[in-house]
Structure formats: C-alpha cells, structure tokens
Chain A
Amino acid sequence: MGLDLGALFREYHESLVRMLTRRTGDRGRAEELAQETFARAVAAPPTNPRPWLFAVALNLLREEGRNAATRERRLVLVKDEDHVAPYEQPDEAYEREETRLQVRAALAHLSERDRDVLLLQAEGFDYDEIAQATGLSRGAIGTTLARARKRMLEVYTQGEGGAHVARG
C-alpha cells in the first residue's frame, strides 16, 4: 500500500522542523534534514511514522555531525539584512536573543540522548513513542526526562545569572 506522503507531511512536517530547529539552532538546516527524512519515507514507507521520522531525522543529524566534509560545506547562512521582522523594541529584541542563546547553551549541556528525549517529549511524543524513536527502553524515559529537565534548568538559571556559559 502506498505511502500517503501528503498526509504524513501534513501531520508531522511542522513538528519535525520545529524539533530539528530547536536541536540545531538552524532552521534552514532543519528544513533540509526534514526534507531528507521525508524523502527517505518515500523510499521506505514506515508503518509507524512518527517515531520513525524523528528517529531517522536524528540519525541523519548525527551522521552529518560526524561527517567533517559535510560540516565544512555547511557554510554560514546568508544573513538577510533587509529581513523584515516584526518590530520590537531594541531591549525586547536583545532580551529575546539573550534568552535564546541561554536556552541553546543549556540544551548543549545535556547529553545527546537526554537532549533528544527532551525535544521529542516537547513535540508531544508519549513515552512509548520516545522509546521507539530513541531506542531507549520505555522504562528509562521517565528518569531520563527527570534528569534532562533538571539539568537544563540548572544550567539555564546559572546562565541567566550572567555567568558566561560555554557553548557546547
């Protein structure tokens, strides 16, 4: 039976891109990864799409990270100076950016596995799905989340205190 790619896409694409954006800090890259992931779904239609898609995406991400050549080719985003963003006060914009950096830094302090679990949970995955997508046992998810949340908030609140947080 054919894969209803359209339905799959409608269901999961946004969530996938969001998760990958949070994971990488780079929306463009997230979209590329998502595209690649969906392309693979076409090639090998999954029976259990959501965990599958996210697992594939996270794997691709890992592979990419390991592949130095790919990393180098991934150059800096073109910054669009004329980008029309919604107007905000300069101090708001600054704060927003600060928060963003701090959250990214906090996330970077987690282990890769903890980070993945956290992000999947944030996308509404239930524990079973998280287990499937990450290969962890279902029983381990609760403790993983407990640890990840705690750690992330620890680091974040430290960072908020103004201490320089090393980027991971």
Chain B
Amino acid sequence: MSHVDDGTLHELVDNALDAAMRVEVEAHLASCGDCARRYAEATAMARQIVTLLGALDVPVPRIRVMPPVTAAGVAPSVAGGATVIPMRSRMTVLQRVAIAASVMLVAGVSYQVGKRGDAAAKVVAMDRDVSASMRAAPMRAAPSVVDGIADSFMAAPAPSARQRTRGGPRAESEMVASGAGATAGVAGEAAAVATPVVVPPPLPRVTAPPQGALAQKSIAPGAPADRDDARREQNVERRVSIGDAETPSQSSTARQIASQTPAQTPAQTRSQAPVQAATPATTQDVLRKASSPESMNRSAVAGGEMQSALPKVIPLAGYSTVEEASVPAMTRRRYISAAGTEIDLSIMQSFDDPKRTLATVASTPEFVVTSVNGRSTVRWHARGLDYVLQGAVSPDSLIKLATQLKR
C-alpha cells in the first residue's frame, strides 16, 4: 500500500483500526522506514500529550464560596475580600436536597463552630463518591486529622474488636467503627445517619424516622421545611447532647435523615480551632469516659455481633476532651477549649458499608464543616441565607474564612 497518512497512523496508535486495516498497515510499516519512523513519532506524541494533560489536573480544589441565589437575586458578595461564585438556583436546590437527604462521608469528621445554648443543628454534608473523591483528591495535605482518619479507615476496613486508646501528647485519631451490621447500639445520638447516597445530586431519600427519645423526622427536601424541622430537632437534640444518657433507639434499618440549619443566626459565634492535625499535637487530650453505661450495656447485649475497628483519638489542638460517649458504631466527643469554646464531634460508621463513615454533629453551629479526605464542605447559615462552601482546604482556613464571612 502507499504510505500511511497521519490520521491512520494515529488510529493505529489508538488501536482504533479494524483488524483488516491494522494488518495492512502493520505490514506496510514493517517494510517502510519512513512510515515506521512517523509511527514511532506519533506514538511518542500521544504519550507526551497524556503526560502534559495530566499536568492540568487539579487534585485538590480550591475553596469556593457559593451563596445561593435568593429571591432578591444573587446574594451579595461576601465582605472581607472573599469573592463569590453564585450557585445556580437549581444547583442550590439540588445541593440542599442532597444535603438534606444524606450524609455519606468517607472517614470524615465534622465539627462545628457555635456557641452553647443555641439550638443544636445537624450537619449533613454530601460528598462525592468515595472512590472518586479518593482518586481525585489524594490526601496529600499536611497531616491532618481528617487524613489520618481517612487513612485509618481505609487501612482497616474490616471491623475488629473495638479498642480505645488513651491519647498522649501525640494522640492518634480515635474512631469507633463497627461492622455493617450495627444495630441497636446506634446511638440515640441524633446522628444524621442517612441512607447512603453516593451521588450529588441525588434524589432525596427520606426513610422512616426512628423512635425513641429523639423525635427525628423525615425531612422532605426544601429549605423552609428543613428549617422548621431543624428547629424542632435542634431542641430535641439538646436533650440528648453529650453527657446525657444516650438511648439507643432505633433498629439498624431506621435511618434518620436530617438536614438542619441553625434556627437563627447567633449573635456571636465563637471561633474555633478546627480539628487539628496529628502533627506534634501538644494537645492534652484528656479522655474522660462519660459514656452512658446504659447504652453501653444495651449495645453490648444487643450488639453482640458488632465489632469496631481500632479507634483512634482525634486530637484537637488547644482543646481537651471533656466528655465522651461511645457506643458501638459511634463515638461522640466534646472538645472544650480553655476559653470555653465547644466543639461537638461525632463519627459513625455506615450500616451498609464498613468503609464509609457518616459524620454528624449535633451542636450549636453557625456553620458546620465536614471534611472528607481533605475535601471540605461547609454549611453555613447566616444572614438568613444558606451558604455552601466547598473545597479542599485545611480546617483552619475554613474557620478563618467563615469567620470573615460572618462579619
């Protein structure tokens, strides 16, 4: 055959030639030095392009603030120099629905900034698909608790006997993870255990609410409903915050879906240190077990088959742990700083997938940060608007940014 044209050469490189053509072309290449050389060049080009395009990849996204599009139009730019990217209203709805419908984090931690006394609120943060977020956002950030947690989770997918470690100056992250079969132990904590939804925007799935002290309710998508429910649930939440006896309420199939935003914008918000890295943590991590014996016993009895992975202590620089409640499948910890700032943190393992962690916070948030594999989502309610902030940033910077925004 006559010399091979460029297009055909590249088709060969890409393995896009039909069998007959390929045989013909290869035969020609075998006998034609020029074409063979051009083919080699084409192969090299294709390879180089792959490398170059890879240089464009952004594994760790930047933070963005996306105010919702309100009835009045695009929400005002945020003060403090932060620029905003408006969310399309549809996306806002979808995201909020997504947030309302589910929480699915991989080894995620969430914590809240807030002040005591406000109605509690729950965090529901949507994250992307596990594998997607893992691949796309490899944990390369400086050691952070989140990453550490993620690591530990991924490293120990199989539930094992639960242990607790006392933290030293360099306390490890603690998590209680239990097997997918976790049942009654799933604490009465108003953990927003949601049906595993992997996709934003998912169709909201509202499942049966649990019984028990926590008057959880299914939440239909929609902002106003969310808020009302939120308010109600917040009040309920308070009753079962840390320190109270935790009542294991529902069966394993009962799932609670909660989407909450703070009922109102608190006058003041304490700034908080984020969950800090496990880097030389000078944190005095005082682990005092305040777990409610009842729930523990109950779970011990009921959850015979429950196991948990090795939990690790999450150190929070500048904070000591004052209260802790753990039942199989979930751990809750309250951190308090010398200044009296509180952070409530709970982590729970998904029923369906031992590799997945659901994180919820029942506290008094003005905003809630959820970090998964280094990617964070902040849900922030202020000035009557819901803000969703996304990005993969350190918790420090999120707090800082949110504090700025708050002004």
Contacts and interface: CB of A to CB of B under 8 A. Distances in A.
**Interface size range on B against A:** 35 or more
A142 B16 contact: yes
A143 B12 CA distance: 12
Nearest to B201: A39
**Interface size range on A against B:** 35 or more
B10 A142 contact: yes
Interface in A85-120: 85-87, 96, 99-100, 103-104, 106-107, 118-119
Contacts of A21: 56-58
Contact of B74 (A18, A73, A153): A73
A14 B95 CA distance: 18
Given A85-B140, A143-B6, A122 B53 contact: yes
A150 interface: yes
B50 A122 contact: yes
Contacts, number: 186
Interface in B15-45: 16, 42, 45
B384 interface: no
Interface stretch (B217-225, B342-350, B394-402): B394-402
Nearest to B81: A78
B158 interface: no
B274 to A, nearest CB: 10
A122 to B, nearest CB: 5
Given A6-B199, A9-B199, A142-B11, A77 B74 contact: no
A39 B63 contact: no
Contacts of A99: 52, 55
Contact of A78 (B49, B64, B197, B201): B64
Q: Which 7 A-B pairs have the closest CB atoms?
A: A82-B397, A143-B7, A142-B7, A86-B140, A9-B199, A146-B6, A142-B11
Interface of A: 5-6, 8-10, 13-14, 17-18, 21-22, 25, 27-28, 31-32, 35-36, 38-39, 42, 73-87, 96, 99-100, 103-104, 106-107, 118-119, 121-122, 126-127, 141-147, 149-150, 152-153, 156
